Amino acid sequence: MADEAAQRPGPPAGRPGGGRDLTTGRIAPTLLAFALPTLGSSILQSLNGSINAVWVGRFLGEDALAATSNANIVMFLCMAFVFGFGMASTILIGQAFGRRDVDGARRVIGTALGAFILVAVAIGVLGWIFAPNLLKLLATPAGAAPLALAYLRVIFIAIPSSLILIMLMMAMRGAGDAMTPLWFMILAVVLDSGLNPVFILGLGPAPKLGIAGSATATVIANYASLAGLMIYMYVRDLPLRLRGKELAYLKPDPAILKTILVKGLPMGLQMIVISASALALVGLVNREGVATTAAFGVAMQLWTYLQMPAMALGAAVSAMAAQNIGAGKWERVSAITRSGVMFALLITGVLVVLLAIADRPALALFLGGNSPALGIARHIQLLATWSFLMFGVTLVLFGTVRANGSVIGPLLILFIGLVPVRLGFALGAYPRLGADALWLSFPVSSFSNMALGIAFYLHGGWRKSRMQIGGRPAPVGEDECIEEALADAEPGGRLNPAG
């Protein structure tokens, strides 16, 4: 049956809302056209977090702002594993669409959803229970701890919808559809940012919930967007919807699930490494006082605008490379990577310059013009912001190698850059540089990640790795090396802590 499914043609490239063929046409324009909706979704997501931070900071003060910063780091940590599985599913779906195997793509999304809906619910329940313990691990300042707990516990109610929504949006991009996720990201952002002041202040019939009101707005927005997306998928008959007998695909296929776990776990561990590094750094920052913690939280809000273009381009490069690898068009993969690096440097560079020019008014949006944290935040920006140019290059390179199932190299590189390099520098230089050692650790670790990423891309042998389902390798092109990665030998392994 699987062999028959592999021969089924996919939807035509121009099918409305049905995805896009990324294996033909000029590479740079195709990549940019595909990346722009993803970039729009990323910017909207960042804007949503920033608007919510403005509401919290202006209405509830710096303690509340520091509380949301600490709580968001915990959220990222809890979501990391499922995010890795979503990335693995996206790559398999992209390769299936490259082979025109729509039924195979539906089997992947069915297994992914069937397995990880329960995981998402479990994360929400356990997060609610253990939220106080998680905040203690962060050494959350005493003034912010009660607020952080109130916010975090409500946010964990939103976790199941957030994870399922992220997985569906990633899967659609793997199928070449970047516009549908954009529309439903707009819906989520409008609801979340619009309802924040309503529930914080108790406007109209809404109850006055304070910081928990900000989280309540997120709950409503995420569940409404997820419901809307599911309805839209069936009304428009999008390729990844499941109907009739296809609903049986929700019972996880052991071979597909094994592939998602083996490849997704290292990618999830990459997110764990990022969040663990951020957790350790936040713990060090918290010891500098509430003003510095608030300043760092606001700096991270602005950094999302610097990260998101590179993250969107990395995701677009990965989806485009996966389709071309699935189609056996290896000659296009290197050109896709070069175009991604060029766009990442250009877009990120423009944003770095703009932020350097307008840092004071941008930071004052969150803190107010007279806040003692404003000067600290400007100093952090000066020392660390330019590191995101190197971060963008690294993400594009990682997006390409992951598209072929090579996940251990990026994991090791991130671990080296973010643990011994970043934390080692921060701790080692602190006696001499004070808090500046914390901020300078960002460019130091970014340079390490980029240098190692370039070396791995050029000489790491990642082209020999190959995504496969169970023991059945996917069809490959004549020019592809047929040596298989030994999956069993690998380790069982909206906040964006800066990379």
Rounded to whole angstroms, how far apart are CA atoms 422 and 438? 8
- Rounded to two decimals, the pTM is 0.71
Residue 77 Cα distances to 268, 365, 392, angstroms: 10, 27, 22
Q: Give the span between the Cα atoms of 167 and 116, in whole angstroms.
A: 9
Rounded to an integer, the average pLDDT of 110-127 is: 88
Q: Is 65 helix (H, G, I), strand (E, B) or coil?
A: helix
Q: How far is CA 166 from CA 90, 161, 169, 335, in A?
A: 11, 8, 5, 28
Rounded Cα distance, 184 and 163, in Å: 14
496 pLDDT higher than 60: no
Q: What distance in Å separates the CA atoms of residue 433 and residue 428, rounded to the nearest whole number?
A: 9
Nearest to 92 by CA among 397, 448, 472: 472
Residue 482 has pLDDT above 50, yes or no: no
Element counts in the chain: helices (H) and strands (E): 16, 2
33-91: pLDDT as tens digits:
888 888 888 778 777 777 877 888 777 777 777 777 767 767 766 666 677 788 888 88
Place of tokens 């083996």: 262
Helix (H, G, I), strand (E, B) or coil at 473: strand
Mean pLDDT, range 322-342, rounded to an integer:
88
Q: Is there a contact between 340 and 396 (Cβ–Cβ < 8 Å)?
A: yes
Q: How confident is the model at residue 312 (pLDDT cuts 50, 70, 90)?
A: confident
Mean pLDDT along residues 433-453? 92
Alpha-carbon 225 to chain mean position = 18
- Choose among 319, 351, 321: nearest CA to 335: 321
Please say whether the beta carbons of 314 and 28 come within 8 A: no
Query: For residue 446, with 0-12 CB atoms within 10 Å meaning exposed, 13-18 middle and 19 or more buried, which class applies?
Result: buried
Measured CA to CA, the distance from residue 22 to residue 25 in angstroms comes to 8
Q: How confident is the model at residue 187 (pLDDT cuts 50, 70, 90)?
A: very high
Provide mean pLDDT across the span 421-444.
91
- Burial of residue 361 (CB within 10 Å: 0-12, 13-18, 19+) is exposed
- 226-278 pLDDT, tens digit per residue, is 999 999 999 999 999 999 999 999 999 999 998 888 888 888 787 778 767 87
Give the C-alpha separation, 137 to 133, whole Å: 6
> Looking at residue 95, what is its pLDDT?
84
Q: What is the spatial distance between Cα 475 and Cα 101, in angstroms, rounded to a whole number?
A: 11
Residue 11 forms part of a structural domain: no
Q: Which residue has the higher pLDDT, 480 or 499?
A: 499
How far apart are alpha carbons 124 and 131 in whole angstroms? 10
Residue 65 included in any domain: yes
Q: Is 3 inside a domain boundary?
A: no
- How many Cβ atoms from other residues are within 10 Å of residue 249's Cβ? 20
Q: Is residue 5 part of a domain?
A: no
- Torsion on CA atoms 368, 372, 375, 380, rounded to nearest 10: -100
| Average pLDDT value for the chain | 81
Buried b (16+ CB within 10 A) or exposed e, 54-93: bbbbbbbbbbbbbbbbbbbbbbbbbbbbbbbbbbbbbbbb
- How far is it, in rounded angstroms, from Cα 445 to Cα 449? 6
- Taking CA atoms, 437 is separated from 232, 446, 447, in Å, by 49, 14, 15
Q: Which percentage of the chain shows pLDDT scores above 70?
A: 86
363-382: average pLDDT: 78
Residue 96 has pLDDT above 90, yes or no: no
Of 43 and 403, the structure prediction assigns the larger pLDDT to: 403
Taking residues 6-30, report their average pLDDT: 58
Is the CB of residue 87 less than 8 Å from the CB of residue 165?
no
Q: Is residue 497 part of a domain?
A: no
pLDDT tens-digit map of 455-479: 999 987 887 765 556 544 444 333 3
Task: Give whichever of 20-34, 100-114, 451-465 has the largest mean pLDDT.
Answer: 100-114
Strand partners, 468: 473
Q: What pLDDT score was predicted for residue 162? A: 87
Given this model, what pLDDT does residue 452 score? 95
Question: Distance (Å, rounded) from C-alpha 380 to C-alpha 281?
Answer: 13
Structure tokens at 91: 């790559």
- In the predicted model, is pLDDT for residue 498 greater than 90? no
Q: 235 is in which domain, residue-wise? A: 23-489
Q: List pLDDT tens digits, range 199-214.
A: 989 898 888 988 888 8
Q: Helix 27-60 and helix 290-326: axis angle, to 10°?
A: 160
In a domain, 12, yes or no: no
Top pLDDT among 197 and 327 is at 197
The confidence score (pLDDT) of residue 220 equals 95
Quick one: how far is CA 459 from the chain centroid?
A: 27
> Looking at the predicted structure, is the pLDDT value of residue 336 above 90?
yes
Distance CA 211, CA 86 (A): 30
Structurally, the chain folds into a number of domains equal to 1
In a domain, 16, yes or no: no
According to the model, what pLDDT value does residue 230 have?
A: 94
Q: Which of the pair, 157 or 494, is modelled with greater confidence?
A: 157
**More confident call, 70 vs 407:** 407
pLDDT band at 369 (very low <50, low <70, confident <90, very high): low
- Of 326, 308, 354, 244, nearest to 496 by C-alpha is 308
What does the pLDDT read at residue 309? 83
pLDDT > 90: what percent of the chain?
24
**pLDDT of 12 above 50:** no
Q: Give the pair of three-digit tokens for residue 305.
A: 């605008």
**CA distance readout (Å), 494 to 44, 137, 163:** 11, 21, 10
The residues with which 472 forms a beta bridge, in sequence order, are 469
pLDDT beyond 60 at 338: yes
